[in-house]
Amino acid sequence: MITISKIAQLAKLIRKDILISTFEAKSGHPTSCLSAVELVVVLFYNHLVFETYNYPQIYHDEFVLSKGHAAPLLYSIYKRTGIINEDLLSLRKLGSLLEGHPSVRLKAVKYATGSLGQGLSIAVGAAWARKYRNLNSKVYVLVGDGEFAEGSNYEALTLASKYNLNNLCLILDVNRLGQSGQTYLAHQIEKYSKILEAFGWQYVIIDGHNIEAIDQAYKKFNQEASKPFAIIAKTIKGKGVSFLEDKDNWHGKPLSNHEELQKALNELDINQEDIDIQILYRKYPDVDNQTNIQSNDHFNLSEIDIETKPMATRQAISVALSKVGNYIKNLIVLDADVKNSTYTEYFEKLYNDRFIQCHIAEQAMVGISLGLAKNGFIPYLSTFGAFFTRAFDFIRMMVYSKPPLVIFTGTHAGISIGEDGASQMALEDIAMFTSLIESTVLYPSDSISAQKLLIEVFKQHFEGRLKGIVYFRTSRPSTSNIYNLNENFEIGKVKVVKKSHSDKVAILSAGVPLFEALKAYELLQKEGINIRVIDLYTVKPIDEKYLIKSIDGIKKIIVVEEHSIYGSIGQIISYILLKNGYQTDYFEIMAVNEIPLSAPANDLLSFHKLDSIAIRDKVKSIL
């Protein structure tokens, strides 16, 4: 253990790093860093168990910085414990690994944070992963009092308590001031304690700058926690520099001139003895339990039987998922209280220990999934596609954390869900998931393609050809099978379902509207009109040359889809054609361009002119 006097000296050095690095960067959040210095220094030097040379690992204790704008504090502690060797003065400079908020470009950073209110959910996932594998390592998460207003924290508090994650420690930095004024509870510490107590957490209240009190709080967590544990720390924003302490209008502002900087450094009163402290990190993990970490080295997904029974794609994908679970032992399924609609109950019945019920808490579900994904698990999340929109910021930040593989399945796509109405219809989900810089979006139309595409995702992932976020868009109605067991579905390709040498129009579609296009094909055949029907089972990424070859010179193109016309598949297709110089004399997107009503599915498809009759009439009108 490092003595209190040495910790105090280290805290001065950390404060110096923060002030100088943000001053040189001419931007940053030094006052937000200064309030948490003692909390972080005591943790890293006296309690966190890890190895500096390969941090972080699942068998290490993990530190999650939810208040990501305190990145200079994180970089300084990493530097002075030997985890990184970057120049702290490169902070926020182009190409530097020390970005304004933590980025996984820096190897020691596991999660991209900075969009506030997400760290606690991530930490719940990381703690669940360790508890599942019976590891001794613990998870600590530093949360600011300003971001504690985010509702996602309360989702996470609930789930941590439900799963009794007594290996999780929340460090609540209550420094009173937010960006534009005081936080909603300011320094009313007793109100924070009542919140945590109500959610079933253990807690202690401390002076967040009293080194001995901080040390005792961490000891209490390590020795006595029988529930999730919180340290409610009353702190001072800007601590250590008198003209910054507890002052408003300093958020996100570095010291502006050399005189201010020198005045602040003089107050720190750093002497040569402080500077000469040799930091030899001495707390290494017990790695005996590493052998409990399962791998997926030995399995053959080609052994999985594909069900040929026609069914809704939302059901078919869960049928395949329950079979895949027998082979992939680190596959975890998360549900948001819709398991009997998404059919993830199939997986739960077989592998209850790998099923996490998040209830109606989609933000926490996504955050927990990131914590799982970066600790050796493959998360599969399923809910109505419409409800992922409320968690979009979590999904966006997940992309920046570069998880190995996370699979999202959104059910109840489009107006074909029928009477439940617009609130339940996924009409914006394609726009949401395709807008992510790194994502894969798949849209199977029948039972066989849904099952085969799920297996293909896992196959490509383990072959090193696919990583990151994958979104499956699935439909509510049961449908017949278009394909047989001999068909293969390569991600990036499309399928030509109907074609002839005399096709006048190409219809591109997926999901329920694809079946309407096939009905229109039959109607037009009776009138001697040939059209091509193409299944866009891959929405992103699309092999552009393969798509254009599939259209094969047809000049009249219609995209039919049950999605908002804005941000639609049709807009993606139009961009690809334009980019590749493909000449058309007619192009139209038949999609949803007004807020839907509540009615039976067939009535809605007819009303929005997305049924077979509307498609037939559109083809005849342009010919």
Q: Judge whether residue 291 has pLDDT over 50.
A: no
Q: Has residue 568 been placed in a domain?
A: yes
Q: Looking at 257, 275, 293, which one is the last position of a domain?
A: 275
Taking residues 296-323, report their average pLDDT: 89
- 450 and 504 fall within a common domain: no
The pLDDT of 446-450, averaged and rounded, is 98
CATH number assigned to the domain comprising residue 520: 3.40.50.920
**Are the beta carbons of 247 and 9 closer than 8 angstroms?**
no
Q: CB within 8 A of 232, min separation 6: which ones?
A: 172, 174, 189, 192, 193, 196, 203, 204, 205, 206
pLDDT at 461 over 80: yes
- Write down the pLDDT at residue 283: 54
Query: What token pair was written down for 439?
Result: 């994502």
pLDDT of residue 273: 59
For 284-292, which contacts have Cβ atoms below 8 Å and span 24 or more sequence positions?
A: 284/49, 284/50, 284/51, 285/49, 285/50, 285/51, 285/57, 285/59, 285/60, 285/61, 285/136, 285/137, 286/59, 286/136, 287/59, 289/59, 289/133, 289/134, 289/135, 289/136, 290/59, 292/133, 292/134, 292/135
Whether 369 and 503 map to the same domain: the answer is: no
The answer to whether residues 122 and 261 belong to one domain is yes
Tell which wins on pLDDT, 368 or 275.
368
pLDDT at 383 over 70: yes
Q: How far apart are CA 124 and CA 132, in angstroms?
A: 12
290 lies in a domain? no
Judge if 221 and 262 occupy the same domain. yes
pLDDT band at 1 (very low <50, low <70, confident <90, very high): confident
pLDDT category at 271 given cuts 50, 70, 90 is confident
Q: What number is the average pLDDT over the span 418-439?
A: 97
DSSP 252: T
Q: Say whether both 469 and 499 belong to one domain.
A: no
Q: What are phi and psi of 609, to 5 degrees?
A: 55, 50
Rounded-to-integer distance, Cα 552 and Cα 554, Å = 6
Distance CA 547, CA 436 (A): 22
The answer to whether position 95 is within a domain reads: yes
Does 128 lie in the same domain as 65?
A: yes
**Which range has the worst mean pLDDT, 183-187, 236-240, 292-296, 473-477?**
292-296
Q: What is the model's pLDDT at position 302?
A: 80
| Secondary structure letter of residue 288 according to DSSP | G
Domain count of the fold of the chain: 3
Per-residue pLDDT at 230 exceeds 50: yes
- Where do we find the tokens 């009542």? 194
Residues 469 and 502 in one domain: no
Query: Do 309 and 388 reside in the same domain of the chain?
Result: yes
Q: Give the pLDDT confidence score for residue 288 in this predicted structure.
A: 55
Say what the pLDDT of residue 296 is.
55
Position 285 in a domain: no
| Bond from prior residue into 403 cis (ω within 30 degrees of 0) | no
In a domain, 281, yes or no: no
Q: Please identify, among 414, 440, 473, the residue that sits at the C-terminal boundary of a domain.
A: 473
- What is the pLDDT, as a whole number, of residue 54? 86
463 and 505 both lie in a single domain: no
448 within a domain of the structure (yes/no): yes
- Residues labelled catalytic: 362
The pLDDT of residue 272 is 59
Q: Is residue 289 part of a domain?
A: no
Same domain, 347 and 426: yes
Q: How confident is the model at residue 488 (pLDDT cuts 50, 70, 90)?
A: very high
CATH of the domain at 201: 3.40.50.970
The domain in which residue 394 lies consists of 301-473
pLDDT of residue 280: 45
Average pLDDT over all residues of the chain: 95
Summarize the confidence of residues 590-606 as an average pLDDT: 97
pLDDT at 278 over 50: no
| Per-residue confidence (pLDDT) for residue 282, from 0 to 100 | 45
In a domain, 484, yes or no: no
Question: What is the DSSP secondary structure assignment for residue 304, as one 8-state letter?
Answer: P
DSSP assignment of 489-520 equals --TT--EEEE--TT--EEEEE-SHHHHHHHHH
pLDDT at 385 over 80: yes
- Residue 174 and residue 228 in one domain: yes
- Across the range 294-307, mean pLDDT stands at 73
Write the pLDDT tens digit of every residue in 132-176.
999 999 999 999 999 999 999 999 999 999 999 999 999 999 999
Residue 382 confidence (pLDDT)? 98
Shared domain for 384 and 270, answered yes or no, is no
pLDDT band of 287, cuts 50, 70, 90: low
> Is residue 403 within 8 Å of residue 469, measured between CB atoms?
yes
* pLDDT tens by residue, 544-573: 999 999 999 999 999 999 999 999 999 999
Angle ∠(426,407,69) on CA atoms, nearest 5:
90
Q: Which pLDDT score, from 0 to 100, does residue 274 have?
A: 56
